[in-house]
Amino acid sequence: MKRVYLDWNATTPPLGAVVEAMAFAAREAWGNPSSVHATGRTARACVEDSREAVARLAGCDPRDVVFTSGGTEANNLALRSAFAEAGTANVSTLVTSRLEHPSITRVAEELDRAGRARMRWVAVRSDGVIDLEDLERALSEGNVRLVAVQAVNAETGVVQPVASIIAAARRAGARVHVDAVQAFGRTEDVATEADTRSLAGHKLRGPKSIGALLTRPGITISPVLLGGSQERGVRPGTTDPVAAAGLGAAARHALASPARWRALGPLREALEIGLLRLAPGARVNGAGAPRMPHVTNVAFPGWRGPELVAALDLEGLAVSAGSACSAGTAEPSAVLVAMGDPEAAASSVRFSLGEDTMAGDIETALAIAGRALGRFS
């Protein structure tokens, strides 16, 4: 059975160059980068080489790259740092929306519960875009310390108006964090004007256990984990030169990737048209919004998303309902609920293509979908 992987937003297959760079580093640069001897310095050089590659991809200075264990830790670090010095009097506001990843929304809820931040949830339009008017309203209420917004939604592929959001926040004197995990390596538009940004290695064909928080010069980050003085005291724990080497190779590859991802547009269109034809009544979530060219998130009214995913998997097609991060919880997609469509939240399936997806994969995917939808109807 030919298997087709259309779940690139959940994770991407590591590049051959990434696997090779990691194996090489494991043999040649395995030292502790904090050790002062030659073995340590070789490991340190490997880490710094990776930092430069990530900085080049992100359009920032290598000194503004903090390596973390992944996107989740980078988001935690950004949000908690912004409210680290908050006193109990005159608690300032954190503005975000229910479109965000749980590593944003759950930290926001915790900061609110602990009295460190006052939460202001911005309204979401039915097409999955942040409601800019409500954002302006939130900013006009004053005392906003941070706006946290994603560059691209993982589930729908909807692109948020990050430039407008940053401009509005600047006018109000607020800091902006952009979760750019789904943007790096897929578009050149990686919100270089944001105060902090997060990146995850495994969304751009690198290793899973490394990510980065990117900061603008002058932004101070307070550590969440405490321990040694690695990463300028911001992120303790032995920095991994092997994971860093993998991320560096992925970042170098990603410099030229956006064109490859943009080229997926026609394949995505073919898939979308084919799916809508197979399932009368099906509709595309976020269809009216600017979307990344590699994602389609389709509601199949009358079906249950997780069951359809299981049926497609049996036939060899890997897709998802909701995000993998909340898999097993059996809860409907918080993103689609935020878009005001509970029916879609229960019945939708995400198909996410990637730079290696070929026309034949789409044909196979549609054939599989036809069988699965036919069997259930």
CB of 17 to its own copies, least distance (A): 11
Q: Does 367 bind its own copies (CB under 8 A)?
A: no
Spatial separation of the C-alpha atoms in residues 18 and 155, rounded to whole Å: 26
CB closer to its own copies, 279 vs 312? 312
Q: Does 327 bind its own copies (CB under 8 A)?
A: yes
User: Which of 237, 231, 197 shows the shortest CA–CA distance to 214?
Assistant: 197
- Given the residues 45, 123, 219, 325, select the one marked as catalytic: 325
Q: Could you say which of 290, 301, 306, 370 contacts its own copies (CB under 8 A)? A: 306
**Binding mask 33-72 vs its own copies (x if CB under 8 A, - otherwise)?**
-xxxxxxx----------------------------xxxx
Question: Which one-letter DSSP state was computed for residue 8?
Answer: T
Q: Does 11 bind its own copies (CB under 8 A)?
A: yes
Q: Could you say which of 56, 170, 208, 371 contacts its own copies (CB under 8 A)? A: 208
CB closer to its own copies, 222 vs 377? 222
Non-local (6+) Cβ contacts of 358 within 8 A are none
Spatial separation of the C-alpha atoms in residues 344 and 139, rounded to whole Å: 31
Please give the residues from 212 up to 241 whose contact with its own copies meets the rule CB under 8 A: 224-230, 236-241
| Count of all residues that appear for the chain in the document | 377
Distances (CA, A) of 213 to 68, 97, 195, 239: 7, 20, 10, 14
Active site residue 325: yes
CB 92 within 8 A of CB 86: yes
Find the angle CA(104)-CA(220)-CA(87) to the nearest 5 degrees. 70
Q: Does 310 bind its own copies (CB under 8 A)?
A: yes
Please give the residues from 160 up to 189 whose contact with its own copies meets the rule CB under 8 A: none
CB closer to its own copies, 172 vs 210? 210
CB of 12 to its own copies, least distance (A): 8
Spatial separation of the C-alpha atoms in residues 65 and 197, rounded to whole Å: 10
The string over 244-257, giving b where at least 16 C-beta atoms fall within 10 Å of a residue's C-beta and e elsewhere, is bbbbbbbbbbbeeb
Please give the residues from 68 up to 107 whose contact with its own copies meets the rule CB under 8 A: 69-73, 75-76, 101-103, 106-107
Spatial separation of the C-alpha atoms in residues 364 and 175, rounded to whole Å: 46
Q: Does 351 bind its own copies (CB under 8 A)?
A: no
Q: Does 328 bind its own copies (CB under 8 A)?
A: yes
- Which residues participate in catalysis according to the annotation? 325
